[in-house]
Amino acid sequence: MVKTGRLRISSSVVTGVRRLFAFFSSLKTAIPLLVITIAVTIGGSFLPTPDFFRTWWYLTLLGLNGVSLLFITILHIPLILERKGRNALIGVVCTHLGILILIVGAIYGLSSSLRFDVKAIEGVMTIVHNLPFVIRLDQLLVEDYAPGEVVTLDPEFVPKKRQESHLSFFKNGQLITTAIAGPGKPTKVETFTILPAFKDIGWCFELIITDPLQRMKTFTVKPWASPIFQIGDTQLMAHSPIGDEVSKVQIFTKVDDRIELLGVVGAGQDLLIENYSVSLGSVKRYTGLSIYNRPHAPLLVAGCVFMLFGLVWHFYFRYRDRKTKNEL
């Protein structure tokens, strides 16, 4: 047993710590760890899901690289101080500390950051799991350029002349703030950034279905969801022709593997199907929203600052010492 005041440390524990330190401070460990991390990161970048980089074993791999770098730095501090002096030590330590902070920031960001891609409909509360507030799109204002006002080879990449998402944010049932955002003009609420989509905008509409007993049921047709609904024993599909606004809706059914048009529903134009009346309800705009936070951003900035300071310090004093030596 090794006694340190009142603390008693088993010799086997001391031996284990020394072996662990020797293992992670060896280049025979550091280099394979680095190569594996590079190979896994490159391979993971080709996978269709970004969740690969949030797996526990990938984060552990990053952590092991950090531990190895820390132990190597500690091991070489006396040698650097003896051979190259204090100035060289400051540069090396700051550079390595910056890399360690970057690794910690990457692990923290990958394990704690959140990102959501949602659709917000005018006048509808958008509730997102794990988001500390609720979003309501009060109004979406969109204005296109006039024909010939913008000259481009591909109209698909032309932004709207005006695209404003008027948003309200609620927490515990209380309004906390309002904001106007647009593509390239995000807004920030608490620690989250909300960025409206560039192209993901359009229309949603409601179909009001009235049965023979005058009971009404509303079916909302969203472009990102299935437009199929049921009336009696008949399965139907709603489709709105592409245009500036939904003014009429086509209703289809399937007959012997064929799609058959039953009729059109529009303003003041109802459609009768099996004694059920189908009419067009409210028409609302929608927009896609990207919601994300970056809690690790200060760590990444701090890591880069430490690395830059260490490199500048190292090369400045290396050049100064070399110049002084030549003058002597």
| Lowest model confidence (mean pLDDT) among 45-54, 162-171, 251-260 | 45-54
Name every residue whose Cβ is closer than 8 Å to that of residue 229 and which is 6 or more positions away in sequence. Answer: 207, 209, 219, 235, 236, 237, 238
Q: Looking at the predicted structure, is the pLDDT value of residue 324 above 70? A: no
**pLDDT attached to residue 1:** 47
Q: What is the pLDDT of residues 162-173, one digit of tens each?
A: 999 999 999 999
Q: How far apart are CA 185 and CA 125, in angstroms?
A: 22
- Segment among 186-200, 255-269, 286-300, 314-328 with least mean pLDDT: 314-328
Q: Which residues contact 45 (CB under 8 A, 6 or more apart)?
A: none
How far, in Å, CA of 162 to CA of 47, rounded? 36
**pTM, 2 dp:** 0.75
Give 216-231 pLDDT, tens digit per residue. 999 999 989 989 998 9
Q: How confident is the model at residue 16 (pLDDT cuts 50, 70, 90)?
A: confident
Domains of the chain: 2-113+299-327 (no CATH), 115-202+289-293 (no CATH), 203-285 (2.60.200)
Q: Tell me the per-residue pLDDT of 58-90, one tens digit each, with 9 for 90 and over.
A: 899 999 999 999 999 999 999 888 888 888 899
**How many of the other CB atoms lie within 10 Å of CB of 230?**
10
pLDDT class of 2 with cuts at 50, 70, 90:
very low
3-state secondary structure the chain: CEEECCEEECHHHHHHHHHHHHHHCCHHHHHHHHHHHHHHHHHHCCCCCHHHHHCHHHHHHHHHHHHHHHHHHHHHHHHHHHHCCHHHHHHHHHHHHHHHHHHHHHHHHHHHCCEEEEEEEECCEECCCCCCCEEEEEEEEEECCCCCCCCCCCHHHCCCCEEEEEEEEEECCEEEEEEEEECCECEEECCEEEEEEEEEEEEEEEEEEECCCCCEEEEEECCCCCCEEEECCEEEEEECCCCCCCCEEEEEEEECCEEEEEEEEECCECEEECCEEEEEEEEEEEEEEEEEECCCHHHHHHHHHHHHHHHHHHHHHHHHHHHHHHHC
